[in-house]
Structures are given as structure tokens and as C-alpha cells.
A = this chain, B = another copy of it.
Amino acid sequence: MNPVGGFRLGTVRAGIRYPDRRDLVVMELAPGGTAAAVFTRNRFRAAPVVVAERHLALQTPRYLLVNTGYANAGTGPRGETDAEACCRALAGAAGCAVEEVLPFSTGVIGEPLPVERIRAALPAAVAALSEDGWHAAAEGIQTTDTRIKLAGRRFDPGGGGACVVTGMAKGAGMIRPDMATMLAFVATDARVSAEVLDRILRTAVDRSFNRVTVDGDTSTNDACLLAATGAGPQVADAAAVERLQEAVDAVCVDLARAIAADGEGATRLVDVVVTGARETAEAERTAFTVAESPLVKTALAAADPNWGRILAAVGRAGIDDLDVAGVTIALDDLVIAEGGARADGYDEAAAARRLDRDEVVIRIDLGRGSAEATVWTCDLTAEYVRINAEYRT
């Protein structure tokens, strides 16, 4: 991972829910930097989401505070008080205003935050701050993830040397409210205004995290933050902004795909690519309907090229005037259904081979336009049910 000048990370074991586990991460953004963030759209919002949004509206953040173990969601009025107390403790240890700290929590819903344990561990986390802290931090934000999720790009904004974009995420199940759920932190050393940064983040999230689904459930704690330290070259003209957008998009897509691949119980990452739609929204809706169909997802687990289930999901995606005879379905490069029926020369064994892979591509052409969209998902296995049925007990 490329470190980002002006962005430091410190990770410690605070014993928040389990002993001897990296569970507390502090991140520091150099003075003069800018930041943008997006938060869950679920109406059931965790206390740290409410507090982070409030602080972000008041000040450019200097510190981000992430704890795992407890989500501080469904904790009633004391949830915000506890989140503020943690921010105040970090502000004291680091020497900044309380509004310059944004809190993020992930873990079990409904249990109060162990504020004392977090407070006690903060000085060590601040002392550990380092530009090389990405790997430890990517581990420190995990809950049920089976692997760390890091991604990076470099780009040249035009003349002033290279910029770096580095990001990390956690999430395994989009979304699992109990381990509430997706957090992503992306930093760049570009010098860029807060307004431009905000636009770039929203665009990137729409193209990445908002297009990944493991189970269709969204979380109370989802958050994605993009920080720009300004330690590197300026990004101001349209061409440079476009290059930054591309780099942030690429990092976010890498992280989003890593989340789908690490979906609870998943054995395969699945790209659902819909083309030939009249509008992007139509392509997106179709891709999501296929990607969230339990019948499609269980067939994928078995490497069963069940085109009937895919076609039936397309048929209920809400396109009122869809002519199913115009729809073509392919697995990677192999067409398996067209004209509302199995493709001529369909070879079940060849189709099954296209599915018996770690990464699978389902291509659906609606044959009615030129808009397209891709959604990332994973298969649905008995292991998903086991994880989610047994998690609390």
C-alpha cells in the first residue's frame, strides 16, 4: 500500500469486546486538508453516524476514531452521549476541538459502548500514528471479515508529480445490521477543495459501494469517508479532477468488490452486467433484482447455469414493457439464453464450467437501448444461513 503524505493511522488493542484483538483505530488528517463523507440512508441510524454528520457540518475533521465490537446503534439517548465522550477523550489526547473528531463504530447492535476502555486506549493509539499504518488499521476495523481490504491507485494530475489514492474498507455482508457494517476510508495527498472532494466521493460511492449487495440489507452504521491532505500536487482544473475521480472510483470499486467477495458464506464474487437498457436506472434495477434473487444466488452456489431463474428475475425487475424475447443472457462469453428460451446449441457442462470459478460474470442484454450498469454480489450458501442464524447465540 502506498502511504498518503499527511495521513497517519494508529491501531491498538483496547479489549473492547474481545481480548487481544486490534479493535481501535485513530486516523489523523494534516491541518489544511479537506474531507467529505457519506452515511447510511437507513432511517435507523446509529449514534456515531448522527454525531459524525453533525461534527462534519461544523468543522473540517482532524481525527477519525473507529471502534469495533459494539456498533453503538439502538442504544437510545445515551448512544450520542457516549459517542461524544469518546470524541472528547481523543480531542484531549490529540489536542484539537471535539468537533474535529468524527466517530465510527461497528459491531453488535443494542449494547452500550464501553467508553472507559476506549478512553484508556486512546493515548497509545495517538502515539502509534504513522503514515505506514494502513495494514494494521485495515485489520483493526474488521469484524467478521475473513480478509483485509485495501486498494490503491496513483495518477498524475498534470505536471506537478504523482498523486496517491489509498483506501481500506470493512464489511462482509451488505449489510449485516448486527455487525453494523460497512466502513470505508479513502485518503489522497491531492490538494483539492472540499466542494470538489464531496462531489467526487458521491459519484464514486454511486459507482461502487452503492452497487454491491450481499443480501439487500442495509446497515445502521454505514459510512465512507474521503480525505485529501494537500501534501501532494494541486487538483484544480477539470482534467485533473477527472483523473482524481477515476482514481477514487477505481479504489472504491476494488474495495466494493472485495466486500462482495468476502460476503458471508460466499464462495464466488459475481459481476452482474446489464447492457442494452433504455436508461441507467433500468439497467441498475435489473442488475439488483438478479443480484438479490435468492434463487439465482443459490443456483450460483451450486454452479448451476439456471438461466430460467435469471430470466424470471429480469422479468420481475419492474420494466413494464419488457419483451423477454429480446433478452440475451450470457455467462462470461457463453450465451445460454436468447429469445425467451435456452440458446441453440446450449451446452450445460460448458455453462457450468463458467460458474465453477472464484469470479463469475453474468451478462444480461435487454436489447432495447444502450444504457448499462454493473452490480457486484456473491452466491448464497448454507454457510450464510449458519453464520446469520447462529451469530447471536
Query: For A371, what are the chain B residues with a Cβ–Cβ distance below 8 Å?
Result: none
A130 near B: Cβ within 8 Å? no
Residues 289-318 of A contacting B (Cβ, < 8 Å): 292-295, 298-299, 301-302, 304, 306-309, 311-316
A 48-83 binary contact with B (CB < 8 Å = 1; else 0) = 000000000000000000000000011110000000
- Residue contact B76 to A341, C-beta cutoff 8 Å: yes
- Residue contact B178 to A44, C-beta cutoff 8 Å: no
Query: For A385, what are the chain B residues with a Cβ–Cβ distance below 8 Å?
Result: 298, 301, 380-382, 384-385
Query: For A307, what are the chain B residues with a Cβ–Cβ distance below 8 Å?
Result: 74, 110
A367 near B: Cβ within 8 Å? no
A109 near B: Cβ within 8 Å? yes
Whole-angstrom distance between the alpha carbons of A302 and B389 in the complex? 5
Query: Given that A74-B308, A178-B308, A382-B382 are known contacts, is A216 also in contact with B294, CB under 8 Å in the complex?
Result: yes
Whole-angstrom distance between the alpha carbons of A315 and B181 in the complex? 15
- Residue contact A304 to B389, C-beta cutoff 8 Å: yes
- Residue contact A341 to B110, C-beta cutoff 8 Å: yes
Give the residue name and chain of the B residue nearest to A339 (CB): B76
**Other-chain contact of A337, B42, B74, B301, B390 (Cβ < 8 Å):** B74
Give the residue name and chain of the B residue nearest to A379 (CB): B389
Smallest distance from the beta carbon of A179 to chain B beta carbons, Å? Answer: 10
Query: For A342, what are the chain B residues with a Cβ–Cβ distance below 8 Å?
Result: 74, 110
Query: For A219, what are the chain B residues with a Cβ–Cβ distance below 8 Å?
Result: 312
Sorting the interface of chain A by its residue count into under 10, 10 to 19, 20 to 34 or 35 or more gives: 35 or more
Whole-angstrom distance between the alpha carbons of A304 and B178 in the complex? 12
- Residue contact A393 to B341, C-beta cutoff 8 Å: no
Query: Given that A217-B295, A295-B177, A392-B302 are known contacts, is A340 also in contact with B308, CB under 8 Å in the complex?
Result: no
Whole-angstrom distance between the alpha carbons of A44 and B342 in the complex? 13
- Residue contact B302 to A217, C-beta cutoff 8 Å: no
Whole-angstrom distance between the alpha carbons of A29 and B304 in the complex? 42
Query: For A315, what are the chain B residues with a Cβ–Cβ distance below 8 Å?
Result: 42-45, 218, 220
- Residue contact A293 to B217, C-beta cutoff 8 Å: yes
- Residue contact B295 to A294, C-beta cutoff 8 Å: no
Given contacts A220-B308, A304-B393, 5 further A-B contacts (CB under 8 A): A73-B308, A74-B340, A219-B312, A302-B389, A385-B385
Give me 8 A-to-B residue pairs in the complex whose CB atoms sit less than 8 angstroms apart, sorted by A's number.
Answer: A43-B320, A76-B340, A109-B308, A177-B295, A216-B292, A301-B389, A381-B385, A382-B386
Closest 7 CB pairs of A and B: A44-B315, A109-B308, A177-B312, A298-B388, A76-B341, A382-B382, A302-B389
